[in-house]
């Protein structure tokens, strides 16, 4: 019997101390690099986008890949790639944690549009406000002291 899954993830993580280091001019190169990581792991990328202090990834994760190992690989690989390519000179790394939220496949188009419009979205709302909203929407208990 084959394995079948359809779990849509929104993965969100920030730069260390939410520093605004991911300048727009090189973000597309970073996204393309992350796309390659996902393809190598047999994951399907639906959309990736972000602003200067964080990124969102909408993806389906292959059943053989664990979420934590995928995020770890993305962060480690991109950190090395950023240093090697001098894309974001002020980049000091990624935050330690991440958010990962699951959705029904029926939410796919809404999520893609939401992530596509990050720049517009963040004129109105900070990353912290957005992140707390996601945690509450998914009924995840959290301590705001650890979100700083």
For residue range 50-106, what is the model confidence (pLDDT) as tens digits? Answer: 999 999 999 999 999 999 999 999 999 999 999 999 899 999 999 999 999 999 999
| The pLDDT of residue 58 | 98
User: Global pTM?
Assistant: 0.90
What burial class does residue 54 get, using C-beta atoms within 10 Å of its C-beta: 0-12 exposed, 13-18 middle, 19+ buried? buried
> 7-57, pLDDT tens digit by residue?
899 999 999 999 999 999 999 999 999 999 999 999 999 999 999 999 999
Give yes or no for residue 148 having a pLDDT over 70: no
- Render the burial of 23-36: b for 16+ CB within 10 Å, e for the rest: eeebbeebbebbee
Domains of the chain: 8-147 (3.30.70.1290)
């Amino acid at each position: 019997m084959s394995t079948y899954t359809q779990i849509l993830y929104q993965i969100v993580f920030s730069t260390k101390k939410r520093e605004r280091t991911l300048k727009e001019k090189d973000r597309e190169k970073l996204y393309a690099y992350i796309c390659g990581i996902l393809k190598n792991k047999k994951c399907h990328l639906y959309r990736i986008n972000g602003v200067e202090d964080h990124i969102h990834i909408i993806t389906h994760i292959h059943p053989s890949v664990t979420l934590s190992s995928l995020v770890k690989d993305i962060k480690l690989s991109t950190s090395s790639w950023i240093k090697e390519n001098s894309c974001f000179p002020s980049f000091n790394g990624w935050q330690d944690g991440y958010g990962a939220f699951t959705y029904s496949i029926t939410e796919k188009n809404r999520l893609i549009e939401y992530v596509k419009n990050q720049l517009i979205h963040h004129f109105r709302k900070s990353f912290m406000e957005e992140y707390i909203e996601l945690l509450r929407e998914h009924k995840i208990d959290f301590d705001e002291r650890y979100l700083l």
